[in-house]
Structure 1
Amino acid sequence: MYTGKTERPCCLCGERETVARLDLPPRAVTLMRNGDPIAWRDIVGEVSVHFCSSDWETVTDLVSNLGMSPLSRCNAAYASFDLREDFEALLNATRDEPDQTETERRFLEETDRVLTDADAETRAVVEAKIVRWALEDLGVTPD
């Protein structure tokens, strides 16, 4: 049985060919379209969203020039993530509910590092801004 992550289509349009992937904290799923039924506390690790070439250009422009996040338009059904139950089924054991606080802290630290690096690549800056805005929208702030 294969339990690893598979590549996903563009989270905005569903196009199979993608050129960019962003990793987000689990709670960001709640900000996405169709994300309400997903038990974000049961997500193990990060949530990955993918973008096709034309949508990546739009996302880059939205984030860089307009200061807007694309997450509300992203379809959570196209996101890539692992649920705790998948691991429990594989290992035949029940795990405790994950505490996402450490994961969110790690994401915030990474955004700080990227946003203060003058040489950071565009993809990393776009990802850092989206992660920062998502966590701020969810009430998570740096210490």
Structure 2
Amino acid sequence: MYTGKTETACCLCGNPDIETRIDLPPRAVPLLKHSEAIAWRDIVGEVSIYFCESDWETVRDLVLETGMSPLSRCNVAHASFDLREDFEALLNDIRDEPDHSDLEREMRESATKTLSNPEDPYVDERDLVEARVVTWAFDDTLVESET
């Protein structure tokens, strides 16, 4: 049965009262805690992780002031994403492995644009945190700059 992507609890503490969401490329899943059993190549679209108010403050400080990624502490059980098998079950059809190249290019370009102009009035702290975490995820998974 296809359930679709849903809002989940804080990926750090499990608190259901979430404040902030950031979206990641599927290849960031192996960087999350307890992700061994998930085939990230079967994820369709972005992966969303959520934070409660107090954990968001910690993550914001960790990323913007300390320059560290929170992903290794984020429990993948609280991440939200769609798997190819869910779509196959819904449509009774076998699908090819998802091609993440367009999504990854868009996410990389958006992160670069955000980080190159942090003083833009339309860029907030959440955007900066997401851009840095996305950039680090690409760096940590050894993604070449051109795919």
The answer to whether TM tops 0.5 is: yes
Aligned to 1:22: 22
TM-score of the two chains, using structure 1 as the length reference? 0.96
- 3-state SS, counterpart of residue 22 of structure 1: strand
Structure 1 runs of 4+ with >6 Å offset:
none
Q: For residues 3-52 of structure 1, give each alpha carbon's deviation from its aligned partner in whole angstroms, at most 9, with x where no partner exists.
A: 33221000000000000000000010100001111000000000000000
Which residue in 1 is equivalent to 2:11?
11
CA contact (8 A) 2:2 2:89 kept: no
Quote the offset at 1:102 in angstroms.
Answer: 2.4
Gapped regions of structure 2 (runs ≥ 5): none
Q: Give the CA RMSD over aligned residues.
A: 1.2
Shifted more, 109-118 versus 89-98: the winner is 109-118
Q: How much identity, in percent, do the aligned residues show?
A: 60
Of 125, 128, 142, which residue of structure 2 is paired with 1:125? 128
Number of aligned residue pairs: 143
CA–CA distance in 1 between the matches of 2:23 and 2:10? 14
Partner of 1:136: 139
Q: Which runs of 5+ in 1 are unaligned?
A: none
TM-score, normalised relative to structure 2: 0.93
**Bigger shift: residues 115-124 or 5-14:** 115-124
Give the partner amino acid of 1:134: A
1:111 aligns with 2:111: yes
CA distance in 1 between partners of 2:2 and 2:138 (Å): 31
